[in-house]
Structure 1
Amino acid sequence: MMKVAVFSAGNTGLATAAHLSSLGFQPMLYTRNSEKLRMLQSHAMESTGILDGSWHIPASRDAKQVLNGASLAIVCTWANAHRAIFETIKHAWQELPPQPLRILVFNGNWGAYEAYQMFSMDYIVPESITIAETAGMPYVAQASFDRDHPVPSASVHISGIKSSIEVAYAANHDADHVIDSFLQAMYAIVRYDTSVFTTSLTAPNPIIHAPLCLLNMTKIEAGANYKMLVEGFTEKQNGSS
């Protein structure tokens, strides 16, 4: 059973962990949030939507424990947290007994390039490190952490899982094909781009987020909470939009 380290216990991290478990992989989640960690460790995680099930997902705030023995590390954090998480992975990996490090950034947004910078030594990433990213987010998901329930628990509603995915390598194109084989097991169609510049520049986030922010400017100015990718457009008010 292939162990996969999943860095982030947010929307994508929980969806990834549930999907991995459903296909027979052994995910382990990394989170620095003590409350999320307590929920994940004390109760099975529920998934609803197109992937319905209950999953016992091990979790830890110790990056060495999460990475140790993992064939692959998937990074699911926000783009502005990439550098911090790569730093965490780097230090943890250096303290472990020698093992290959394979990093896959979901929804790259220059994540693979940042990882390349972090791990490069004399402008070359060591052969034991493989770095790749996807062009888009594989999941449409919403995580939930029920703090008020008698048994606090984590859950995720998965609205969609992509059947096809685009990937590019920033360093050492997976000579042993672990990442390639993993992606082919997870998604029906895997397309390869020649450069991480392609995957980052063609990522849909800049296209989707900017117009939806403009169309929801009244909510943003009012400080209202809304789910941009789910609720989308500002509703009509007083006969106007």
Structure 2
Amino acid sequence: MKKIFIVIIFAAIASCSKSNNKTGNVELSGNVEGLKKGKLYIQQLKDTALVTLDSISISGESSFETKFQIDEPQMLYLFLDRGTTESIDNSIHFFAEPGKMKIETTLQGFYSNAKITGSENHKIYEKFLKIKSKLNDEKLDLIEKELKNETLKNKAVTDEINTKKEKLTVRKYLYTAQFALVNPKYEVAPYIALTEIADANLKILDTINKTLSPKAAKSRYGKELSKWIKERKANEEN
């Protein structure tokens, strides 16, 4: 009987150590396939520096679960410290929301293979990234043609490439603005406007700002967008 009691105590301790008694309004679980040992850091951008909200040690099992607190939906970063292994593929950015979220990925393709669920804002953000990816592919094609033309110096080709680049830039701004305008109730809308088209025509930014739902307008990124528009208006008037 004494042995059974001891086993129960150890099982309870092991269960507690898995979650480390962490509390918070975000319950994050996931798996990094292939990772046997390392450390995961959940980071938040404050001003220009990344601040660690939580850390998770991986030893043996590649799955993890944790809890942490956020004031509102926002972009966070899951950083992998691989130890001695060097890689540029060490960070996943995800739009966190209070509730249950899951991040599943692999050690070899930490960012590229990441699948993130449980956040409506992130689901919307992924739709935007698909549009952005197509535009980036077009831009890369033009850069490749530009490089090939450097030796030939064909003026007609140069003019054609420059025209296409200008049109592509206009399309990028219009697509991004339109995307923010059709998703005004999400906090990701002002985030996209700030990070992708901050230098756009003030009328476009103002329209996005005025279209935001009260919840999105009062969010961190909604306030930052409003502040940015005021600053640009003041600078352009002087």
Q: Which has the higher contact order (CA 8 A, sep 6+)?
A: 1
In our comparison, the structure showing a higher alpha carbon Rg is 2
TM-score (norm. length: structure 1): 0.23
TM-score by length of 2: 0.23
Q: Greater helix share, 1 or 2?
A: 2
